[in-house]
Structure 1
Amino acid sequence: MSSAHKKVIVRRFTGETLPGYLPLAGFTRNRIVDLLDLEGRVISLAINDIKHICYVRDYNLNDAANPERLTRRTFLAKPRTEGLWLRLTFRSGDLLEGLAPIDATLADDLINDIGLQLTPPDVRSNTQRIFVPRTSITDLQLLAVITTPSRRKPLPASSVPSLQEDLFTNLIPPNTRPN
């Protein structure tokens, strides 16, 4: 197994979960995802059948209901990490919020009709990243654009005019001013 393959749990709309390995990007071709399962076989899955793909730390195969341990699906407050705060509604009607990167890859993936890579609301959970195919989304809302505040740059000392020299010159009568 190459180090480029990461642990994933694929959740289908039927409720079935499939553990396996996928690369972080470029794993779709002709609307098919080739999942390398735990026995080393390649399973071809139609992207229309996939609800989401969770990149996980551990498989948790003894938990049949929620092996990806995606417990919190929305943010409790405004995220602090930079990104696009998105709310997705799936075909099944449930919601998921996440942060997408602020760059052109979001638009590129939507134009190519592949999907979105999101950071989940709780990054300390088992799920580190989520891929959501475009075909599983019925509604996409942009809630906020989270950016880091810009800091004012200090001016160089030489460019700051000195107000101290001219502070009292107007108070001294003109004929008594020193030259």
Structure 2
Amino acid sequence: MSGSTTKKVVLERFDRSPLRGFVNPQSYLLPEGVEIISPDGSVAQIPYSQVKAVSFVRDHDGPGVMSERRDYLARPKTAGLWVELRFRDGDKLEGVVSNNLLLLEPYGLALTRPEATGNAQRVFVPRQALEEATVLGVVGGRRKRPERDTEIRQIRLFGEE
């Protein structure tokens, strides 16, 4: 995502059509809900109880995360906690959240989605939208293999070296 002060989002709701607009990534999460600026410039605050997901998108005309593939076809490569989220309405979404628990948002989870080439790049899901969040695995950097001993531990026969 670029360094601008507002980001394009598609806010998906449980009972209505999605909202398209902009958010300030540093201040869009308020104690009462999500603050979104519509394309015409009006500001709205949507309560967390109505929000299913906030997708940070490349293009407003494209789909949000709930309209694209929602699970990984294989184990993800991005480092972090691989999670499966189950929403109140029964929908499921897989993603990778940061392995640094200090980066967890107080109002929900920010995750990287399965399809990196899709319209939605990152997703915020409010805690109130979830029925369950399950860790499927821990994906980390490569572990160092233990160094092999250069010393031969087996006795050689017939004077082999």
Q: Classify the TM-score, shorter chain.
A: 0.7 to 0.9
TM-superposition CA deviations, 1:55-99 (whole Å, max 9, x none): 0000116xxxxx226421000111111110000000010100000
Aligned pair partner of 1:99 in 89, 96, 99: 96
CA distance in 1, matches of 2:38, 2:94: 28
Question: Is the radius of gyration larger for structure 1 or structure 2?
Answer: 1
CA distance in 2, matches of 1:27, 1:148: 31
Q: Does 1:46 align with 2:43?
A: no
Equivalent pairs counted in the alignment come to 148
User: Could you tell me how far 1:152 is from its partner in structure 2?
Assistant: 5.2
1:1-179 alignment runs, 5 A limit: 3-60=4-61, 67-68=63-64, 70-105=67-102, 108-109=104-105, 112=106, 114-151=107-144
Cα distance in 1 for residues equivalent to 2:111 and 2:8: 16
Q: Deviations over 1:10-48 (max 9, x none)?
A: 011113110011123432222222111100110111111
Q: Percent identity?
A: 33
Give the Cα separation in 1 of the matches to 2:109 and 2:129.
11
What SS is found at the alignment partner of 1:135?
A: helix
Q: TM-score if structure 1 supplies the norm length?
A: 0.75
Displacement of 1:153 in angstroms is 8.9
If the length of structure 2 is used for normalisation, what is the TM-score? 0.83
Q: CA RMSD in A?
A: 2.3
Looking at secondary structure, tell me which structure has more helix per residue: 1
- Aligned equivalents of 2:122, 2:20: Cα separation in 1: 15
Equivalent in the alignment of 1:167: none
* Aligned mates of 1:68, 1:13 — CA distance in 2: 13
Q: Is the CA contact (8 Å cut-off) linking 1:60 and 1:68 kept in structure 2?
A: no
CA distance in 2, matches of 1:82, 1:119: 10
SS of 2:49 mapped into structure 1: helix
* Aligned partners of 1:88 and 1:140 also within 8 Å: yes
Structure 2: give runs of 5+ residues left out of the alignment. 152-158
